[in-house]
Amino acid sequence: MIHFCQKLIRSPSLSGEEEDVANLIKDEMEKLDYDEVRTDKAGNVIGKIGGSDESIPSLTFTAHMDQVDVSSAENWDYDPFGGEVAEGFVHGRGASDTKGAIATQVYLPTILDEVPGSHGDIYVAFAVLEECGGLGSKYLMKSLDTDYAIMGEGTGNEIRIGNRGRVLSRVTFRGTSMHSSSAKPEDVIHYDAAEFLLALRELTMERGKLGKSSVAPTNYRCDNPGSNVTPGRCEISVDWRRVETETQEAVREKLAKIIPESGELTIDPLEEVAYTGTKITSPERQAPFYVSPDDPFVRKVVSVLEDEYEREIPVSTWDFTTDCGYFVEAGTTVIGFSPCEEKYAHTSRDRVSIELMEESMDGYVRIIEAVSDLE
């Protein structure tokens, strides 16, 4: 399992370039005698382990194959694509987001004989394009019919039951470009942009079970041809993280109210091309998701993990956005459990704990047992 994790890290897999990692996973699944191994048109990899009792609910373990790029490699203590083992960790880009989880989930067939009694169908599914909006999971859930799911985003072997959704928008300001020596304040669209930004800062954010919505301007771009010319067009990117009580349309309305006359709001649909050439689109960004801590699945999983690990298992929500919303939309109850750790994702310290990986395997046994006991 550890060697396989190293191989995954040593195979770079930017969004839209996951084919090599997908092939590694398929080969490993076939070596481990999965009952079925397939790839859908988007390039998602799905392995199936047939259940011994059709009356038991099905369970899917899932994570994503793509990873963010590496910047400033000189800041890394270990080669970002070396997959080195040191200090009790496997190091490298994607280790905690989410190749450490992939390595453990792929090896599920090796621990199934430890599950007492029968189990239902088990799927192990890995998605493309998570880092650019989760469209791989959206496509995956068109054909994967599963009752419950375990998401492999970083939890450090704790439980996550929710995350905020995401709305990405653009506000474009248009005016007349002119020589800066003759420009009056009303001719300079920077001031309209500044007015919008100040109003954005003062917006009242919605609260819900997922905490509080947040908004942040991220990029500011102008078509400025020189230091002595005012721009005729400027664009601000806005990243809004919404709670479960807030719709994408509500976000649009709140932004529209504070945009000056020279500005125009655009919320673009998601559109990406997978490594297979399949184009995937969605009119809406990733949705928030929330499962009650009193849900029978949550309570049962927490109970068996606390029994296994002999410690309290914290139950909380992710601050970032995951693909779980797509599972919820498909009617699947999903929670997060993974040896990966949120604090290492997207950082130059990206790593996954070998101890947590080994521990997660014991946890998987108990989770499968828990689903088998659900009515």
Is residue 20 located within the same domain as residue 129? Answer: yes
pLDDT on residue 266: 96
Given this model, what pLDDT does residue 71 score?
85
Strand partners, 211: 208
Whether residue 250 is contained in a domain is answered as yes
pLDDT tens digits, 52-72: 899 999 999 999 999 999 988
Asked whether residue 281 is assigned to any structural domain, the reply reads no
Q: pLDDT tens across 82-129, in order?
A: 999 999 999 999 999 999 999 999 999 999 999 999 999 999 999 999
pLDDT of the residue at 31: 98
Rounded-to-integer distance, Cα 276 and Cα 16, Å: 8
N-to-C CA span, the chain: 33
Residue 283 lies in a domain: no
Whether residue 282 lies inside any domain: the answer is no
Q: Which CATH number does the domain housing residue 266 bear? A: 3.30.70.360
**225 and 237 part of one domain:** yes
Supply the pLDDT for residue 15.
97
- Asked if residue 187 and residue 269 are part of one domain, the reply reads yes
Which of 230, 249, 273 finishes a domain? Answer: 273
- 61 and 82 housed in the same domain: yes
Regions of the chain short of the pLDDT cut 50:
none
- For residue 163, what pLDDT is reported? 97
Residues 6+ apart with CB under 8 A from 27: none
Q: Has residue 139 been placed in a domain?
A: yes
Which CATH number goes with the domain that contains 315? 3.40.630.10
Q: Are 13 and 94 in contact (CB under 8 A)?
A: yes
Nearest to 365, CA basis, from 59, 60, 114: 114
Query: Which residues make beta-bridge pairs with 238?
Result: 169, 217
Looking at the fold, whether 241 and 201 belong to one and the same domain comes out as yes
Amino acid (1-letter code) at residue 141: M
**What is d(CA 152, CA 137) in angstroms, rounded to the nearest whole number?**
13
Task: Evaluate whether residue 129 is within a structural domain.
Answer: yes
Residues 107 and 143 in one domain: yes
Tell me, yes or no, whether 136 and 212 share the same domain: no
Number of domains in the chain: 2
Q: Decide: 350 and 78 in contact? Cβ < 8 Å.
A: no
Where does a domain end: 246, 273, 300? 273
User: Do 148 and 78 belong to one domain?
Assistant: yes
Residues 85 and 57 in one domain: yes
Could you list the residue range(s) of the whole structural domain that residue 27 is in? 2-163+288-373
Residue 285 pLDDT: 78
- pLDDT in the model for residue 375: 66
Residues 209, 341: one domain? no
Helix (H) or strand (E) segment spanning residue 171: strand 165-174
Residue 141 has a pLDDT of: 96
The reply to whether 331 falls in a domain is yes
Instruction: Say whether 254 sits in a helix, a strand or coil.
Output: helix
Which pLDDT score is estimated for 62? 98
Strands 148-151 and 159-163, by their bridges, are: unpaired
318 and 249 co-located in one domain: no
As given in the structure block, the two tokens for residue 213 are 């919505």
For residue 366, being part of any structural domain is answered with yes
115, 368 contact by CB (below 8 A): yes
Q: Which of 273, 306, 326 is the last residue of a domain?
A: 273
Q: Is 239 left (phi over 0), alpha (psi -120 to 50) or beta?
A: beta
Does 360 lie in the same domain as 327? Answer: yes
